[in-house]
């Protein structure tokens, strides 16, 4: 230790007692000093441990095991209170305990005393019993098992015995002994479905314990079978027939009834899509003569399905085509008509058919059997009043079908051909109010003179413009209201009329001037030299504008006029639509302008360098002035500003004080210095003032 200080040391004494502690201090020069102190170490009582708890059988004995710990190097004396009466009557560290008492749990106490008289106690108990049952320490399965029929289930347990007795194992299935030993395997079959109690009893010869499981064996259905294959009811079918698959004999090993049949059909060993019933229509597309057909059947008991069972195949035989109908068109015919005969036929084999036609006039053949299905009456053989028919048959390359006859058509007078019509569209009216209508171009196969009928639909009904005329008509529509008008015409030979008023067209009559709407106008009166107008029309139009006595000029919305004079003004606008109808609109308003002016700008008073300025402003107009700005340029850079309102023909005097340094100054006063107000006269908006300050 350098130049003084404190040193600390620790020492553990082996036993209690009185001890002298000596400290010797020696400095660097060899000088020493000695100090002695007496230390008394007191005894610490021992800590007792009685062991246990203890177990023994009635009328047997066990050895107790006592112990103690003490921080000193003491020796110990052990005494036991074995009857729990508070008296330590039994000496020794590990005495024998005789289990002669009845079954029960008994407290015992150990007292340990060291050689210095310190003591400690500890208690435990002795459990006296006739014996202890075995203990199952593990088992399998850990949960209640669920298996299916034909599956097996293993069970096992591991057990110990506190008394080390020999153990035996007995396994019971629903109270019937089925195995011994630690393991048991249950094997199921198709008749095992149900719920079972599996119980194992472990015994030491005196006492026993058990473990049980609830085992579920699920039913496993066995699929049904067919003891004979299905058969097809017709061994020589044709393509226009329906065949049926006859079921094979059903059998189910579980005795379950048949719930459902499932069917398939095969063509040349290829599955026919979509055919899932016990019948097959051989006229379906894709089936043809020579195809090999078989059916396949699967049965179900509602839980499982059988495998598929196939029938013996049958071969489809050829079927001749069948002519079903013939129709002759058109049904209204004339001497120049070209007839068309359309026949329909079917072939159960799906063969390609060739169609044949024959045309007749009454019993006379006009055109004998051929593949052409048209006949032109204009060539020869047809006259008014004749009756025309056709006959039809089909051939599949092997055989003809039956022959069918069409409807009869009587030759009528030929009507004139369809004319052309102009115009068929357009808008008319205004300056374009005469429509030149032309219906022309019709011919007549009988050589009859052709006339024309022209009609127009307006005001809710059809009106004849020209009947049996030459087809030229000039129509003045100036008196008609604005509307859509349908035009139509037809040609006639005064016996029959063509086209039934075809062709037709729709034109538009527009005799209505556009309506103009002014959406933006200046206020009346207005206090501005600028006027803004926005406008629109209720139809497409071009606009012209005019101000006061000026000229009309083309314009678009919006239209703005600037720099207008004070007084009355009139704005006029006209809109012209596509056919020349003109709509007009006007707007009148007055412009009234304020007229503020500076009457006086002078020095009101002066006290030393403190000057009071007076600015007198007057409004010469008969309207008020709002937010009139004013400014005084003081000449020394410190300007004074403000805003005032003036009544009509009113005035105001503004006083302002300002402190100057000695010197001469040129002052200027202005009104509306921001140019925010349209004024009648702006020549009196400024005054000057010269000022000398001593």
Backbone angle region of 537, left / alpha / beta, with phi > 0 → left and psi within -120 to 50 → alpha:
beta
Cα–Cα distance for residue pair 343/359, rounded to 1 Å: 13
List the chain residues with pLDDT less than 70: 1-5, 498-499
| pLDDT tens per residue across span 66-102 | 999 988 888 899 999 999 999 999 999 999 999 889 8
Residue by residue, DSSP assigns 386-414 as: -EEEEEEEEE-SS-B---EE---EEEEPP
Q: Are 303 and 221 in contact (CB under 8 A)?
A: yes
Beta strand pairing call for 183-187 and 225-226: unpaired
pLDDT of res. 140: 97
With 0-12 / 13-18 / 19 or more C-beta atoms within 10 angstroms meaning exposed / middle / buried, residue 206 is middle
- Residue indicated by tokens 């003179």: 449
The single-letter DSSP state of residue 96 is E
Q: Identify the helix (H) or strand (E) that includes residue 476.
A: strand 472-476
The single-letter DSSP state of residue 103 is S
Cα–Cα distance for residue pair 212/198, rounded to 1 Å: 5
Neighbours of 661 (CB within 10 A): 8
pLDDT of res. 4: 61
- Residue indicated by tokens 């379906």: 284
Beta strand pairing call for 119-129 and 54-57: parallel
| pLDDT tens per residue across span 498-507 | 667 777 889 9
pTM value surpassing 0.85: no
Which domains are seen in the chain, by residue range?
A: 135-218 (2.60.40.10), 232-244+251-315 (2.60.40), 322-412 (2.60.40.10), 420-505 (2.60.40), 516-591 (2.60.40.10), 596-693 (2.60.40.10)
Cα–Cα distance for residue pair 533/589, rounded to 1 Å: 12
Cα–Cα distance for residue pair 484/459, rounded to 1 Å: 9
Cα–Cα distance for residue pair 119/112, rounded to 1 Å: 5
Q: Are 308 and 264 in contact (CB under 8 A)?
A: yes
The residues with which 139 forms a beta bridge, in sequence order, are: 157
Per this entry, what is the length of the chain? 694
Q: HSE (CB half, 13 Å, CA atoms) of 237?
A: 28
Cα–Cα distance for residue pair 242/280, rounded to 1 Å: 6
Neighbours of 394 (CB within 10 A): 25
pLDDT of res. 21: 86
Q: Are 437 and 473 in contact (CB under 8 A)?
A: yes
pLDDT of res. 480: 87
**Residue 156: alpha-carbon gap to chain centroid:** 56
Q: Are 341 and 325 in contact (CB under 8 A)?
A: no
Closest by CA to 646, choosing from 629, 670, 668, 631, is 629
Cα–Cα distance for residue pair 275/145, rounded to 1 Å: 45
For 324-332, the CB contacts below 8 A with 24+ separation are 324/404, 325/392, 325/404, 326/390, 326/391, 326/392, 326/404, 326/405, 326/406, 327/406, 327/407, 328/388, 328/389, 328/390, 328/406, 328/407, 328/408, 328/409, 330/409, 331/407, 331/409, 332/409, 332/412
Q: Are 117 and 92 in contact (CB under 8 A)?
A: no
């Amino acid at each position: 230790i350098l130049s003084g200080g404190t040193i600390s040391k620790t020492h553990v004494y082996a036993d209690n007692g009185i001890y002298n502690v000596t400290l010797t201090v020696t400095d660097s020069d060899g000088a020493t000093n000695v100090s002695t102190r007496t230390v008394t170490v007191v005894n610490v009582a021992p800590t007792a441990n009685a062991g246990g708890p203890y177990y023994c059988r009635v009328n047997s004995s066990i050895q107790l095991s006592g112990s103690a710990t003490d921080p000193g190097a003491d020796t110990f004396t052990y005494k036991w209170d074995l009857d729990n009466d508070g008296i330590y009557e039994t000496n020794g560290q590990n005495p024998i305990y005789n289990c002669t008492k009845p079954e029960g749990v008994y407290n015992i106490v150990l007292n340990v005393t060291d050689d210095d008289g310190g003591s400690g106690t500890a208690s435990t108990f002795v459990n006296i019993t006739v014996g202890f049952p075995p203990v199952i320490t593990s088992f399998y399965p850990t949960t209640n098992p669920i298996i299916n029929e034909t599956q097996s289930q293993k069970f096992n347990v591991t057990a110990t015995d506190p008394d080390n007795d020999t153990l035996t194992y007995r396994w019971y299935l629903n109270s019937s002994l089925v195995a011994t030993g630690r393991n048991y395997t249950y094997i199921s079959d198709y008749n095992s479905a149900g719920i079972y109690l599996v119980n194992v009893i472990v015994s030491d010869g005196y006492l026993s314990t058990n473990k049980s499981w609830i085992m579920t064996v699920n039913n496993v259905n066995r699929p049904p079978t067919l003891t004979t294959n299905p058969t097809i009811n017709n061994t020589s079918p044709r393509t226009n027939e329906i065949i049926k698959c006859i079921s094979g004999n059903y059998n189910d090993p579980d005795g379950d009834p048949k719930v459902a049949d499932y069917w398939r059909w095969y063509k040349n060993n290829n599955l026919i899509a979509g055919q899932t019933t016990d019948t097959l229509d051989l006229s379906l597309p894709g089936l043809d003569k020579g195809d090999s057909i078989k059916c396949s059947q699967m049965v179900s008991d509602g839980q499982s399905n059988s495998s598929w069972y196939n029938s013996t195949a049958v071969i489809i035989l050829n079927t001749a085509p069948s002519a079903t109908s013939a129709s002759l068109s058109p049904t209204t015919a004339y001497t120049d008509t070209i007839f068309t005969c359309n026949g329909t036929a079917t072939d159960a084999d799906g063969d390609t058919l060739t169609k044949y036609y024959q045309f007749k006039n009454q019993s006379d053949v006009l055109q004998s059997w051929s593949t052409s299905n048209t006949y032109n009456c204009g060539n020869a053989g047809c006259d008014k009043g004749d009756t025309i028919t056709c006959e039809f048959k089909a051939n599949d390359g092997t055989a003809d079908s039956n022959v069918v006859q069409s409807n009869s058509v009587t030759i009528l007078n030929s009507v004139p051909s369809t004319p052309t019509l102009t115009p068929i569209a357009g808008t008319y009216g205004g300056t374009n109010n005469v429509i030149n209508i032309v219906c022309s171009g019709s011919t007549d196969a009988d050589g009859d003179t052709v006339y024309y009928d022209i009609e127009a639909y307006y005001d809710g009904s059809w009106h004849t413009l020209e009947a049996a005329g030459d087809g030229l008509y000039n129509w003045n529509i100036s008196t008609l209201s604005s509307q859509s008008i349908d035009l139509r015409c037809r040609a006639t030979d005064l016996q029959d009329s063509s086209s039934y008023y075809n062709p037709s067209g729709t034109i538009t009559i527009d005799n209505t001037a556009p309506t103009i709407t002014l959406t933006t106008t200046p206020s009346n009166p207005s206090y501005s030299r600028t006027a803004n107008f926005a406008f629109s029309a209720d139809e497409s139009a071009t606009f012209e504008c005019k101000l006061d006595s000026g000229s009309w000029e083309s314009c678009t919305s919006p239209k703005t006029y600037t720099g207008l004079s004070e007084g009355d003004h009139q704005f006029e606008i006209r809109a012209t639509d596509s056919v020349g109808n003109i709509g007009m609109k006007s707007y009148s308003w007055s412009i009234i302008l304020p007229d503020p002016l500076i009457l006086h700008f002078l020095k009101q008073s002066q006290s030393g360098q403190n000057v009071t300025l007076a600015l007198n402003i007057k409004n010469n107009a008969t309207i008020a002035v709002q937010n009139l700005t004013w400014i005084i340029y003081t000449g020394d850079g410190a300007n004074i500003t403000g805003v005032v309102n003036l009544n009509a023909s009113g005035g105001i005097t503004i006083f302002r004080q300002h402190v100057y340094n000695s010197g001469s100054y040129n002052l200027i006063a202005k009104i509306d210095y921001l140019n925010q107000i349209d004024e009648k006269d702006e020549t009196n908006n400024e005054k000057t003032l010269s000022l000398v300050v001593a």
